[in-house]
Amino acid sequence: MADFEATVVDVASDGRGVVKHPDGRTVFVGGVWPGEKGRFRITDNKGNVAIAQLCELLLASPHRVEAPCPHHGVSESSCGACPWQFVSYTAQLDAKQQRVQQAFARIGVKQVNDILPSSKHFHYRNRAQFKTDGQQLGFVGAKSNSLAAISQCMVLSDPNAATLQNLLQQLPNPTWKPTRKQLWTTLDIDDSLAIGEVSVNQRLPFRQANDEQNTAMKSWLAKKLEPLDKSARVLELFCGSGNLTQVIAEQGFEEILAVEAVEEALLQLDALNLPKVTSFKQNLFLDTAFEAIYRELNKPDILVLDPPRDGLKNKAKMFRKKNKFSHIFYIACDLMTLVRDVKQFQEEGYKVREVQALDQFPQTPHIELMVHMSAKNA
Distance CA 100, CA 109 (A): 10
21 and 152 part of one domain: no
State which H helix or E strand residue 166 sits in.
helix 158-168
In this structure, what CATH number is given to the domain that contains residue 9?
2.40.50.140
Distance CA 34, CA 293 (A): 47
240 and 352 part of one domain: yes
345 and 218 part of one domain: yes
Residue 89 domain-assigned (yes or no)? no
Strand 233-237, strand 277-281: pairing: unpaired
| 239 is an active site residue | no
CB 12 within 8 A of CB 40: no
Q: What pLDDT, on a 0 to 100 scale, did the predictor assign at position 88?
A: 98
- Measured in degrees and rounded to the nearest 5, phi and psi for residue 55 equal -95, -40
Closest CA to 122 of 86, 171, 157: 157
CA quadruple 209, 342, 241, 118: dihedral, nearest 10: 20
> What are the angstrom distances between the C-alpha of 107 and each of 102, 111, 116?
9, 12, 22
46 and 138 part of one domain: no
Q: What pLDDT, on a 0 to 100 scale, did the predictor assign at position 320?
A: 66
Residue 22 domain-assigned (yes or no)? yes
What DSSP string describes 205-269? Answer: PP--SBHHHHHHHHHHHHHHHTTS-TTSEEEEES-TTTTTHHHHHHTT-SEEEEEES-HHHHHHH
10 and 143 part of one domain: no
Q: What pLDDT, on a 0 to 100 scale, did the predictor assign at position 304?
A: 98
162 and 224 part of one domain: no
53 and 191 part of one domain: no
Instruction: Point out the domain boundary residue: 168, 200, 232.
Output: 200
Residue 79 domain-assigned (yes or no)? no
Neighbours of 225 (CB within 10 A): 21
Q: What angle do CA 185, 191, 197 make, to 5 degrees?
A: 50
Q: What pLDDT, on a 0 to 100 scale, did the predictor assign at position 314?
A: 75
3-state SS, one letter per residue, for 89-154:
HHHHHHHHHHHHHHHHHCCCCCCCCCCECCCCCCCCECEEEEEECCCCEEEEECCCCCEEECCCCC
Residue 87 domain-assigned (yes or no)? no
Tens-level pLDDT at each residue, the chain (378 residues): 689 999 999 999 999 999 999 999 999 999 999 999 999 999 999 888 999 999 999 999 999 999 999 999 998 889 989 999 999 999 999 999 999 999 999 999 999 999 999 999 999 999 999 999 999 999 988 767 789 999 999 999 999 999 999 999 999 999 999 988 888 999 999 999 998 899 999 998 889 999 999 999 999 999 999 999 999 999 999 999 999 999 999 999 999 999 999 999 999 999 999 999 999 999 999 989 999 999 999 899 999 999 999 998 877 778 766 568 999 999 999 999 999 999 999 999 999 999 999 999 999 999 999 999 999 777
Instruction: Point out the domain boundary residue: 13, 34, 59.
Output: 59
Range of the domain at 135: 127-200
Rg (CA), the chain: 23
Instruction: Point out the domain boundary residue: 151, 168, 200.
Output: 200
304 and 355 part of one domain: yes
178 and 263 part of one domain: no
Which residue of the set 79, 153, 239, 333 is catalytic? Answer: 333
Residue 301 domain-assigned (yes or no)? yes
Q: What sections of 308-355 are H helices per DSSP?
A: 335-347
Q: Classify the C-alpha dihedral 115-116-121-127 as positive or negative.
A: negative
Residue 86 domain-assigned (yes or no)? no
215 and 282 part of one domain: yes
240 and 338 part of one domain: yes
In this structure, what CATH number is given to the domain that contains residue 346?
3.40.50.150
SS3 35: coil
366 and 226 part of one domain: yes
Q: What pLDDT, on a 0 to 100 scale, did the predictor assign at position 321?
A: 60
